Chains A and B, each alone.
Chain A
Amino acid sequence: MKQILYFTLFIFFISVVSCGVDEECRKDKTVQLEVGFHKKTLNTTTNLYTNVALSVDSLTVQGLDTLGILKDSVLYKNQKKLSKISLPLNKFASESRFVIKFNDKTDTITISHTNTNEFLSLECGCLKVHTIDTVLTTGHYIDSVKIVNHSVKNNNNNAEHLQLYKNK
């Protein structure tokens, strides 16, 4: 009987002491558009085109705002041997433009997209996810664009959304 009483009291104290919850947000709050560079080469034995990752010798990427002014902050500055880039889409506009300088040739890529609010949790808040509508590009270096995945969400294993092709 006494044991039950002690245990009852013990439980009472435990129930009074509430426990804290993990309040840190460990999730990434910005989603990135993953862009890969590719080239098609003709396999002479099979006579079929194969898709090969293209490594660009020197790459500079900058955003171009809605007024057509280059952003001061440069995303990639003269980076060597890149075959893949991650770009931030504009969270509050339906169009994002980037000026990409491949070695000595410059292309402007225009991505139109819709933005949706996505709630993560009280700790992490909301983030913007995007759905790509269309992609336009100038053709100085890039020959074609392929949209692999329209949905730009919190990225699972950095899968490509866009593929830019250079056909020699």
Chain B
Amino acid sequence: MQSIYSYIKISSLLLCLGVFTVQAQKKTIEKPKDTTPEVPFFNGFTVQIDAASLVTTALIHGDSYSMEGAVQFNLKKKYYPIIEFGFAGADKISNDNVEFKTNAPFGRIGLDINLLKPKKDAKLTNNLFLAGVRLGMSNFAYSTTNLAITDDYWGNSQILNYNNQKSTKIWYEIVVGMKVEVIKHIYMGWNLRSKGLFKEDSQGNVYPWYIPGYGINTSSNWSGNYIIGYQF
């Protein structure tokens, strides 16, 4: 699995480099006829859904599910503030039959910056190479049940159930991705997210196995989105 991660990382980097060099070549050609028209401040917004989480949820009946959408604004064709919201949950049973359950909404706010200069020629294809940050939050209730404790020497056993535990988690994400206008007004794209929790759980407490919007509760995590959006 590790090798796949590194492969993605390397190919992302290579792609970035590729895009930049292509851009640089074009720039030299375009330079003489550069007449820099004023870019308006507000250029509409896209409403988008994440197809990756939907497909994953539909195809793989795994331990967790997630659905999310977003509204992304286009300011000066460079700054792309975004509001993301979704609903996620998990129902996981461990090898020892310990069950974890949660269902909750989550939200993220953030900003993407388009690293490509907007095209000035008449044939407008809006390709975006975006890098940005997100601040995510989820306030959720969870249960961890059927925790068995047995005493092999003295005998006796006990089943512990922790129901309706409450938690609020805040995390950050660093996002890199692309968005391409495939048909007029319709955008498709992907992004990769590296996530980190601001505050980890203290030892000994019944901490949640899964955090809606974040994923499995580890100090750092990653995920990817596949975006389909409509530009208004």
Contact = CB atoms under 8 A, between A and B. Distances in A.
A93 interface: yes
Given A12-B190, A16-B52, A21 B216 contact: yes
A122 interface: yes
B192 interface: yes
Most buried by A among B55, B62, B153: B153
Contact of A119 (B19, B56, B205): B205
A15 B225 contact: yes
Contacts of A133: none
Contacts of A23: 94-95
Contact of A8 (B18, B147, B180): B180
- Classify the interface of chain B: helix, strand, loop or mixed: mixed
Contacts, number: 108
A54 interface: no
Given A8-B178, A125-B147, A14 B60 contact: no
Given A73-B153, A119-B207, A122-B92, A15 B190 contact: yes
Most buried by B among A11, A18, A93: A11
B154 A93 contact: yes
Contact of B98 (A71, A91, A125): A125
A126 interface: yes
Interface string B1-42: 100100010010001001100000000000000000000000
A10 to B, nearest CB: 8
B176 to A, nearest CB: 11
A123 B94 contact: yes
B121 interface: no
A88 B149 CA distance: 14
A4 interface: yes
Given A8-B189, A15-B224, A125 B153 contact: no
Given A19-B1, A122-B209, A126-B147, A71 B153 contact: yes
A91 B180 CA distance: 61
A143 interface: no
A65 interface: yes
Interface of B: 1, 4, 8, 11, 15, 18-19, 51-52, 55-56, 59-60, 62, 92, 94-96, 98, 100, 127, 144, 147-149, 151-154, 156, 158, 160, 178, 180, 188-190, 192, 203-207, 209, 216, 223-226
